[in-house]
Amino acid sequence: MAFKPKSAAETKARDLGLALARIAEGEGLPASIGVDQLRQASPRLTPLAIGQMVRKEHETVVATLAERGLTLVDYSDQGPGRGMTFTIDAAE
């Protein structure tokens, strides 16, 4: 099978998944993670980019978490300026 380079969106989605995993593993599970925590973990992840990655590259984010034995239990977006929240737990 030939190597397929990842798009910038796939790379950023993977970064989001890894940041979520690091924060969740540090806080203990289940973890509720907000945008501010993600920005501290990875300043490249702007709120706009985070929202886009969850919508457009959802499978990549979920697969990245699964590699670490985690799962995305819930994602909520209250709209611009109100924030996003991720709930991460151990995969069953």
For the stretch 29-82, pLDDT in tens is 899 999 889 888 888 888 888 888 888 999 999 999 999 999 999 998 876 656
In a domain, 64, yes or no: yes
Q: What is the pLDDT of residues 70-84, one digit of tens each?
A: 999 999 887 665 678
- Let me know if residue 84 belongs to a domain: yes
Query: Angle, nearest 10°, between helix axes 8-27 and 58-67?
Result: 40
Q: How many Å separate Cα 68 from the centre of its chain?
A: 12
Instruction: Decide if 67 contacts 47 (C-beta within 8 A).
Output: no
Q: Is residue 48 part of a domain?
A: yes
Q: Is residue 38 part of a domain?
A: yes
Q: Residue 2 falls within a domain, yes or no?
A: no
Burial class (CB in 10 A: 0-12, 13-18, 19+), 80: exposed
Tell me the residue range of the domain where 71 lies: 8-90
In a domain, 53, yes or no: yes
Dump the DSSP string for 57-82: SHHHHHHHHHHTTEEEEEEEE--TTT
Q: What is the pTM of this model?
A: 0.86
Give the pLDDT score at 4.
64
pLDDT of residue 23: 95
Residue-level pLDDT at 49: 83
> What is the CATH classification number for the domain harbouring 48?
3.30.1370
